[in-house]
């Protein structure tokens, strides 16, 4: 027999324990989750779960909410009830929290003596015209900056936003001189509604709000309209405006309320008594009226703005947040 040498087969490579895949179980995942860093505030979540922590939490929450609510609501309450007090009751020290009697006839007296009907009509005319001019100018400007993208559009937008950094009192005199002698045309717009409408038309803040919303409108929607042959004006009227009703509603409300409560500018450009707004008219006759009648007039003048806010507060918040997130 021939000698046959059998070569031993090489041993199979052993797998290192540390290289073996380890399947993490529930316990491992739980420990990793517990080991993860937790972000905590001033009071730890554990403290809030204790009875004492819950009591302190609710005490602080109720105190803060009630305190801030009282700080904002109490002036309104004092104004409404101040009209129901007599002049002597308003002057007594310390003042009483509740009026001694409820005589609502003082509101009718304020309406007649201060001629609030005429002042309210003037203010409604100024606010309505300011709204129309604001929408006409600001919507078209925001649409051009957002969708038409003109040359140096970002520079123009930056200059508009820069005007928000200028205090209104600084530009009061140049604006008055412009209204008194309109450039190129040379018209005197004092004692006319145009003195209120034209300065209110261009507002950098409104243009910024509208542009941010227009940026969130899909460009594919506008391109499809362009393929169908729609002009930029038709796209704005038929597509952009119907989609942008929330933000247009916000701009409309802010424009009306701003014009309604303005005092300094109407005082300068509307000196005639028959053209005064309600805030200027009440101030001009305040020296001749009892204090309770004057407060009643202020309540009547404040009601439209307060009602508009409470009715459209959801629209205001929805419009301000619309277009801020994309996705």
pLDDT tens by residue, 87-144: 777 777 777 777 777 778 888 888 888 888 889 999 999 999 999 999 999 999 999 9
Q: What CA–CA distance (Å, rounded) separates 209 from 249?
A: 12
Concatenating the DSSP letter of every residue in 244-290 gives: THHHHHHHHHHHHHHHHH--HHHHHH--SGGG--HHHHHHHHGGGS-
DSSP state of 136: H
Q: What CA–CA distance (Å, rounded) separates 298 from 84?
A: 13
Query: 1-60, pLDDT tens digit by residue?
Result: 444 444 555 555 555 544 444 455 555 555 554 544 555 556 666 667 788 778 888 888
**How many Cβ atoms are within 10 Å of 9's Cβ, its own excluded?**
6
**In the prediction, which pLDDT does 2 show?**
45
pTM for the whole thing? 0.73
Concatenating the DSSP letter of every residue in 53-99 gives: HHHHHHHHHHHHHHHHHHHHHHHHHHHHHHTTS-HHHHH-SSPPSS-
Q: What CA–CA distance (Å, rounded) separates 262 from 241?
A: 28
- The b-or-e profile of 103-123 (16+ CB within 10 A means b, else e) is eeebbebbbebbbbeebbebb
- How many residues appear in the chain? 327
User: What are the phi and psi torsion angles at 7 (to 5°)?
Assistant: -80, 125
**In the prediction, which pLDDT does 322 show?**
58
Mean pLDDT, to the nearest integer, of 188-198?
A: 90
Q: What CA–CA distance (Å, rounded) separates 286 from 264?
A: 16
Higher pLDDT, 179 or 326: 179
Q: What CA–CA distance (Å, rounded) separates 106 from 84?
A: 7
Higher pLDDT, 231 or 309: 231
**In the prediction, which pLDDT does 31 show?**
54
Q: What CA–CA distance (Å, rounded) separates 138 from 162?
A: 16
Q: Report the interhelical angle of 245-261 vs 204-215 (nearest 10°).
A: 170
**In the prediction, which pLDDT does 194 show?**
92
User: What tokens were used for 226?
Assistant: 């362009």
């Amino acid at each position: 027999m021939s000698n046959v040498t059998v070569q031993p087969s090489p041993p199979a490579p052993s797998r290192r324990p540390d290289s073996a895949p380890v399947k993490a179980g529930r316990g491992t995942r739980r420990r990793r989750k517990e080991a993860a860093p937790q972000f905590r505030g001033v009071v730890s979540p554990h403290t809030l779960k204790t009875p004492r922590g819950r009591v302190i939490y609710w005490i602080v929450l109720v105190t803060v909410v009630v305190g801030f609510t009282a700080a904002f609501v109490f002036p309104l309450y004092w104004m409404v009830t101040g009209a129901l007090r007599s002049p002597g009751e308003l002057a007594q020290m310390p003042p009483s929290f509740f009026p001694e009697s409820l005589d609502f006839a003082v509101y009718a007296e304020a309406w007649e003596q201060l001629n609030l009907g005429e002042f309210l009509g003037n203010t409604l005319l100024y606010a309505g015209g300011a709204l129309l001019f604001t929408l006409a100018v600001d919507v078209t400007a925001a649409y051009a900056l957002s969708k038409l993208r003109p040359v140096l559009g970002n520079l123009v937008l930056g200059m508009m936003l820069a005007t928000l950094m200028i205090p209104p009192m600084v530009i009061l005199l140049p604006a008055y001189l412009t209204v008194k002698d309109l450039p190129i045309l040379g018209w005197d717009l004092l004692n006319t509604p145009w003195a209120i409408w034209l300065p209110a038309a261009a507002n950098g803040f409104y243009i910024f709000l509208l542009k941010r919303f227009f940026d969130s409108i899909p460009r594919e929607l506008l391109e499809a309209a362009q393929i169908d042959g729609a002009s930029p004006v038709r796209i704005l009227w038929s597509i952009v405006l119907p989609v942008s009703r929330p933000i247009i509603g916000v701009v409309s409300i802010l424009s009306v309320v701003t014009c309604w409560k303005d005092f300094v500018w109407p005082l300068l450009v509307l000196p005639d008594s028959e053209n005064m707004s309600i805030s200027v008219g009440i101030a001009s006759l305040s020296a001749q009226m009892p204090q309770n009648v004057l407060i009643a007039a202020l309540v009547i003048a404040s009601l439209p703005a307060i009602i508009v806010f409470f009715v459209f507060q959801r629209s205001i918040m929805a419009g301000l947040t619309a277009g801020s997130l994309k996705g």
